[in-house]
Amino acid sequence: MQPAVLAVLVSVLAGLSVWGLASLVTPSAKSRRIKTYVERAGAASAAGEAAEGLTWRERLADIVVGTLNLRKWLELDTMREKLQRAGKRGTRAETMFLMARFSTAVSLAVIAAFYAFVLHVPDLPMPGPLGIVFFAGYVGLKVPETVLDRAAQARAASIKGAWPDALDLMLILVEAGKTVEFAFRRVVMDIGGRSQPLAEELTITLAELTFLPERRQAYENLGTRTGVSEVRSTCMAVIQAEEKGTSLGSTFRALAADGRAARMAAAEKKGASMATYMTVPVMVFFLPPLIILSVIPALIDFMKWN
User: Taking CA 181 as the corner, what is the angle to CA 193 and CA 209, rounded to the nearest 5 degrees?
Assistant: 110
6-15, 124-133, 223-232, 266-275: which range is least confident on average?
6-15
**pLDDT top residue among 284 and 203:** 203
Largest CA distance in the chain: 95
Spatial distance between the Cα atoms of 274 and 20, rounded to a whole number of angstroms: 41
pTM, two decimal places:
0.68
Spatial distance between the Cα atoms of 112 and 106, rounded to a whole number of angstroms: 10
pLDDT of residue 48: 37
**Per-residue pLDDT for 255 more than 80?**
yes
Taking only the tens place, the pLDDT of each residue in 203-227 is 988 988 888 888 889 899 888 888 8
Residues with Cβ within 8 Å of residue 182, at least 6 apart in sequence: 173
Residues 109 and 137 sit within 8 Å (Cβ to Cβ)? yes
Average pLDDT of the residues of the chain: 77
- Residue 45: pLDDT band with limits 50, 70, 90: very low
**pLDDT top residue among 38 and 158:** 158
Taking only the tens place, the pLDDT of each residue in 112-163 is 888 877 777 777 677 777 888 888 888 888 888 888 889 888 888 888 888 8
pLDDT of residue 50: 36
- Residue 47: pLDDT band with limits 50, 70, 90: very low
- Residue 42: pLDDT band with limits 50, 70, 90: very low
pLDDT of residue 11: 55
Considering the chain, what percentage of its residues have pLDDT values greater than 90? 0
pLDDT of residue 275: 76
pLDDT of residue 133: 84
Taking only the tens place, the pLDDT of each residue in 162-171 is 888 888 888 8
pLDDT of residue 77: 66
**Per-residue pLDDT for 91 more than 60?**
yes
The CA–CA distances, whole Å, from 148 to 16, 142, 240 equal: 18, 10, 33
Span 168-180, average pLDDT: 87
